[in-house]
Amino acid sequence: MLVVGIDLAGVEHKNTGFCFFDGKEVEVKILHTDREILDEVRRHKPEVVAIDAPLALPKGRKSLEENNGIHLRECDRELLKMKIKFFPITLGPMRKLTERGIRLKSILEKEGNDVIETYPGAAQDLLKIPRKQVSLKKLSMSLRGFGFKLREGMDGDELDAVTCALVGKFYLENNFLALGSEEEVLMILPGSRKHI
């Protein structure tokens, strides 16, 4: 099992959490540039890359600049129904993150990678483990319970990258929930294998 989890930052000068998990050992680091991210994925040759970033626009919206009143994707609507908090992709800083996520997904898929969108906050809620805003220590302890050997003092970006890798692990084990529409993007979360 070779999984990469990426907690993507909207801009290159901010920290992007990166996690590689081979089923036993875990490698976690902070990256910044697109080149660093792509180089690490190429180096590890994972079976799946799970990214915390919007990887598609809502159906009916051609760009983030176009303001046609369409703000939510089908997977976003499903999160709302599940009462899971998130930021819409058309909101301020989320625009840069969405643009970067879509760009990286395109490059990675052209290179033969299986790329999935996930959301660590939602994954943590579904797994009933704390989000990073609640307690980094408790989140770290909870992730260790899933078999990740983590060093002490990891920050929120690193722990969210580990959560993304955990979702990638569930995905490879066919133990996942797929929210949304294939016409847009499926958001992959822990759960029983089905589309909502």
User: 95-114 pLDDT, tens per residue?
Assistant: 899 999 999 999 999 999 99
Is it the case that residue 154 has pLDDT exceeding 80?
yes
Element (H, E) at 193: none
Residue type present at position 188: I
Is it the case that residue 177 has pLDDT exceeding 80?
yes
Domain 3-195 bears CATH identifier 1.10.8.80: no
Residue type present at position 161: A
Element (H, E) at 26: strand 26-31
pLDDT tens digits, 19-68: 999 999 999 999 999 999 999 999 999 999 999 999 999 887 878 777 77
C-alpha closest to that of 186 among 66, 12, 48: 48
User: Which pTM does this prediction carry?
Assistant: 0.93
Q: Report domain extents, the chain.
A: 3-195
How long a stretch of residues is the chain? 196
Element (H, E) at 126: helix 120-127
Q: Are residues 167 and 118 in contact, defined by beta-carbon separation less than 8 angstroms?
A: yes
